[in-house]
Amino acid sequence: MPPQSRPVLLTGASGALGRVLTRALGAQGLALRLTDIAPFPDPMPPDASFTRADLADGVAMLRLAEGCGTILHFGGVSVDRPFEEVLGPNLRGLYHIYEAARRERSRVVFASSNHSIGFHERGERLDHDCQLRPDSYYGLSKAYGELMGRLYWDKHGVESVFLRIGSCFPEPVDARMLATWLSYDDLCRLVARCVLAERTGCAVVWGNSANARSFWGEDARARLGWAPQDSADGFAGQLAGKLSGDPVIERYQGGAYCANGYSRGEASPADLFGWPD
């Protein structure tokens, strides 16, 4: 059976984006299997069930994925945290998700992040095949997830879409988000296309709305039949001057995550020698 006609497993269902997706995909009539380590706080859509489980429990993940056509992997640590906290949910947990996908021949839609490429400078315009330049252990776990997906595609033919999500919040709140903001509605339409597309192969999609100040260019959106409909541009008047005052934050695409624990000193090789950084 093609992935589109089988149930959808959503990890991280109780998180902010998981709840938004549950509402939107449930309203479209998709059969949803929801899971999270935390209880699900909202009313359940008609064709949905919820199981409380830990991503670190490989057996539970295999069971939950049984018969599922798509795994929407939004679970795990979603902010900059120390390595030991990221390790279980984001690295080991990801392995459990991909093993389940391999066994069930499911497609994986992975909530990657702009923090997998956060140390690119803001003046650069990046395409999907740019170098991974993580800005934190969290960003590193997202880069690892993308590489894990590549491995499972090349070796086992497991399809993946890596959503390099910018800043998915109800509204943009600072100047950086004029580039990185992704509206909830654009996210939901994007994820629906990832589920319903006949084939995705192994693809990267930049997760931001149609923002004139975007840092990002080419990706696989045409393959999915998705284009963003919202934009942060209307917030420019109130947010363009909302800067942090920190040169590291303002220099790099990943913003504050780049500055957390930064100890490099002021000069980068690009500044010192004009080398490509």
Binding site for ligand 15L (CB under 6 A): 78-79, 113-115, 165, 167, 180
Q: What's the closest the beta carbon of residue 29 comes to ligand 15L, in angstroms?
A: 28
- Tokens of residue 151, six digits: 């491995």
The residues pairing with 161 across neighbouring beta strands, listed in sequence order, are 109, 203
Cβ atoms of 115 and 254 closer than 8 Å = yes
Please identify which of the residues 138, 152, 184, 252 carries the catalytic annotation.
138
**Catalytic annotation present for 138:** yes
12 φ/ψ sector (left φ>0, alpha ψ -120 to 50, else beta): left
Q: Report helix, strand or coil for 275.
A: coil
Using the minimum distance from each CB to ligand 15L, give the nearer residue, 12 or 69: 12
Q: What's the closest the beta carbon of residue 16 comes to ligand 15L, in angstroms?
A: 9
Q: Report helix, strand or coil for 149.
A: helix
Cβ atoms of 113 and 165 closer than 8 Å = yes
C-alpha–C-alpha distance, residues 162 and 145, integer Å:
9
Strands 70-73 and 48-52, by their bridges, are unpaired
Q: What's the closest the beta carbon of residue 120 comes to ligand 15L, in angstroms?
A: 13
Using the minimum distance from each CB to ligand 15L, give the nearer residue, 69 or 145: 145
Using the minimum distance from each CB to ligand 15L, give the nearer residue, 68 or 117: 117
Closest residue to ligand 15L, judged by C-beta, is 167
C-alpha–C-alpha distance, residues 207 and 183, integer Å:
9
Cβ atoms of 128 and 110 closer than 8 Å = no
Q: What's the closest the beta carbon of residue 216 comes to ligand 15L, in angstroms?
A: 13
- Tokens of residue 33, six digits: 């299997």
Catalytic residues: 138
